Amino acid sequence: MTEDVDAAVVSALYRRRLRLWRGASVAAFSVALLVAGVSVHRHASPLGPHLARLKVHGTIGSDVSLMTRALKTAEKDSSIKGLLLDIDSPGGAVTGGEALHDAVERFAKMKPVVVTMGGMGASAGYMIAVPAKRIFAQRGTLTGSIGVLMQSPDVSSLLDKVGVSVDELVSGPLKGQPSMVKPLSPEGRTMLQGVVNNLFEQFVTMVATGRHMPEEKVKALADGRPYTGQQALALGLIDSLGDEDDAKASLAKLCALPEDAKIETIGEKSKQFSLRHRLLGMIGGSFATLFGFGAEELLQNETLGIDGPVAIWKP
């Protein structure tokens, strides 16, 4: 009799555990379905088939990862059928321009890209435009300015006047070139000119490839000068004169979408105004302007200022 009671207790215990496991499994499965549903909802666009717009306004900084990530995401989004690249920039860091150029080029291999230029699309601003299917500019847009520059201030004569000397220890004769505290040596000048020349050749290749032009023709146009939109059209540097509406209509047609297709702006920064931005705002009007960049331009960059060689047009 006792054995029968014990067996009944054990059986009841097993049944209870089985119910608990079944309940837990059902709950886990329900949670998984809920999470999957939320994930699908987050990634499904309520716009349906539409266009993306990426704005590149102001000086291009060295770190453009926010925009390149946005392009990569848009490239994978099946509801985004094409990209309107909105450029109003004098250029900026060569590294930032190259990174954006490559990201636009990758996107353009998958989906159509059309560029609209505002007041300027020069130097690195033009570099990022060349992979596009069509480039629109207005008659007065300043574009082109194909070239690279590298500059470093030399305050050695000022230090001599105030009686300040700086000892500089370097591992090799070219390691300290350029330096703010001593003049550029002939060897240093030759070395840095070689760097600039190589970056220039890369820029020329990008333009020749994107615009389907012989490199010799690009080099003939690439003495650093800017061109108006009207001049650029005659030279083959752009495809059409027109504004953003014209560029969007062209893109919609390439994507087989109606002219009034919805457009989603991607790659925008947070509007939070941090302490760093406030400090930049205070110093930008004086210090930054000495180097040709205003506070507003610095605030638009991913990083403080611009590192390394630049492809920029400055009046």
H/E element, 265: strand 263-266
- Find the catalytic residue in 123, 145, 179, 250: 123
Cα–Cα distance between 252 and 80 in angstroms, integer?
Answer: 11
Contacts of 259 (CB under 8 A, 6+ apart): 248, 249, 252, 253
How many C-beta neighbours within 10 Å does residue 220 have? 10
- Find the catalytic residue in 30, 39, 72, 175: 175
Rg (CA), the chain: 29
Q: Nearest to residue 120, comparing CAs of 132, 133, 137, 108?
A: 137
How many C-beta neighbours within 10 Å does residue 141 have? 26
DSSP 3-state of 160: helix
Quick check: is 175 catalytic? yes
- DSSP codes, 50-112: EEEEEEEES-B-S--HHHHHHHHHHHH-TTEEEEEEEEEE-EEEHHHHHHHHHHHHHHHHHS-
Q: How far apart, in Å, do the first and last CA atoms of the chain sit?
A: 104
Q: Which two tokens stand for residue 31?
A: 């949670």
Q: What secondary structure letter does DSSP report for 155?
A: -
Cα–Cα distance between 246 and 170 in angstroms, integer?
Answer: 56
Name residue, tokens 């690279």.
148
Calculated CA dihedral for residues 134, 117, 143, 125, nearest 10 degrees: -90
* Angle (CA) 201 206 212, round 5°: 120
Which residues are marked as active site?
123, 175
